[in-house]
Amino acid sequence: MEKRDLIYEGKAKRLFSTDDANLVIAEFKDDLTAFNGAKKDNESGKGALNNKISTELFKMLAKNGVESHFVEMLDDTHMLCKKVDIILIEVIVRNIATGSLSKNLGIPDGKVLPFTLVEFDYKNDALGDPKLNDQHCLILELVKNEAELDQLRAMAREVNSILRPYFHDKGLNLVDFKLEFGRDKDGKIILADEISPDNCRFWDLETGEKMDKDRFRQGLGGLKVAYEEVLNRILG
Ligand code: 5GP
Per-residue pLDDT at 104: 97
Of 109, 199, 201, 216, best ligand 1 pocket probe by most atoms within 8 Å of the beta carbon: 199
Of 36, 50, 92, best ligand 1 pocket probe by most atoms within 8 Å of the beta carbon: 92
State if pTM tops 0.85. Answer: yes
Q: Is 92 close to ligand 1, i.e. is its CB under 6 Å away?
A: yes
Distance 19 CA to ligand 1 centre (A): 33
Write the CA distances from 21 to 25, 79, 122, integer angstroms. Answer: 11, 16, 28
The CATH superfamily label for domain 85-222 reads ATP-grasp fold, B domain (3.30.470.20)
Chunk the chain into consecutive blocks of 10 residues (it has 236) and report each block's average pLDDT, rounded to whole numbers: 95 98 98 93 97 98 98 98 98 98 98 98 97 98 98 98 98 98 98 98 98 97 98 97
Per-residue pLDDT at 50: 98
Instruction: Count each helix (H run) and each strand (E run) in the chain, helices first.
Output: 6, 14
Per-residue pLDDT at 36: 87
Q: Is 129 close to ligand 1, i.e. is its CB under 6 Å away?
A: yes
Domain boundaries, the chain: 6-82, 85-222
CATH number given to 6-82: 3.30.200.20
Q: Is 214 close to ligand 1, i.e. is its CB under 6 Å away?
A: no
Q: Is 200 close to ligand 1, i.e. is its CB under 6 Å away?
A: yes
Per-residue pLDDT at 73: 98
Q: CA-CA distance, 223 to 198, in Å (whole number)?
A: 10
Amino acid letter, residue 226: A
Q: Do domains 6-82 and 85-222 have the same CATH topology?
A: no
Among candidates 178, 215, 212, 177, which has minimal Cα distance to 197?
A: 212
Task: Quote the DSSP letter at residue 199.
Answer: T
Per-residue pLDDT at 114: 98
